[in-house]
Amino acid sequence: MHIAPSAWRSARGVYLVTPDEADSGRLLARVQPLLAAGASWLQYRNKRADAPLRLAQATALQALCAQAGVPLLINSDAALAHAVGAAGVHLGEDDGDIAAARTLLGPDAIIGASCYEQLILAQRAVAAGASYVAFGAFFPSRTKLTTRRAQPELLRQSAALGVPRVAIGGLTPDNAAPLVGAGADLIAMVSGVFSAADPVAAMHAYRGCFDPPLQV
């Protein structure tokens, strides 16, 4: 799925990350209404799946996202992103080289980098060709154990990088709003939406962190 750089460079809103889900049909059924509810980006992340399941799920999600006009990014795996025609990849510090991912996926791919609580990592990522940087965890996360804590000031300090900034880690509609105020262009979550009693309502609540309200 080709996304014009002008579109992703100005991205704002909810960056939804999928939960570990073995049932592909259930995964698609959970994701589809959230795309319709206004997710700006979707990241496919399933740490428990084997390679064939990851390929099948990523392929199905790419078709769903293409229909909805939402960029799909793949967690940690540039080769899988390339195989399914995803918009890009998100890389942690041990997930491979940004420049190599750029070579594989092309100049217009969205390549994100986890920068945790360090501005220097964000500076290095952008210099290497990252499209956006992600900071966190800002709060304790229910999705995975986190020991690094990012501070809101980091979002202000990174404004000069000139790329979208993503906040992640334990976000709720209440605690995410100040991070948006500090400069987060996208707020990312897994359980905050997928584990909510009403995921669509949760999506709308997170979108309400942005002013003026985003339009579907």
Which among 82, 128, 120 is positioned nearest to 112, based on CA atoms?
128
Whether the CB-CB separation of 70 and 63 falls below 8 Å is answered with: no
Catalytic residue, chosen from 40, 76, 114, 158, is 114
Q: How far from each other are the two terminal CA atoms of the chain, in whole angstroms?
A: 20
Structure tokens at 70: 């939402």
Residues forming beta bridges with residue 189, ordered by sequence position? 16
| 3-state SS, residue 75 | strand
Structure tokens at 212: 């003026």
Q: What are phi and psi of 141, to 5 degrees?
A: -105, 145
Cα atoms found within 13 Å of the Cα of residue 106, Cβ hemisphere only: 14
Is 142 assigned a catalytic role? no
Assess whether 45 carries a catalytic annotation: yes
Question: Is 191 considered catalytic here?
Answer: no
Residues marked active site are found at 45, 114, 144
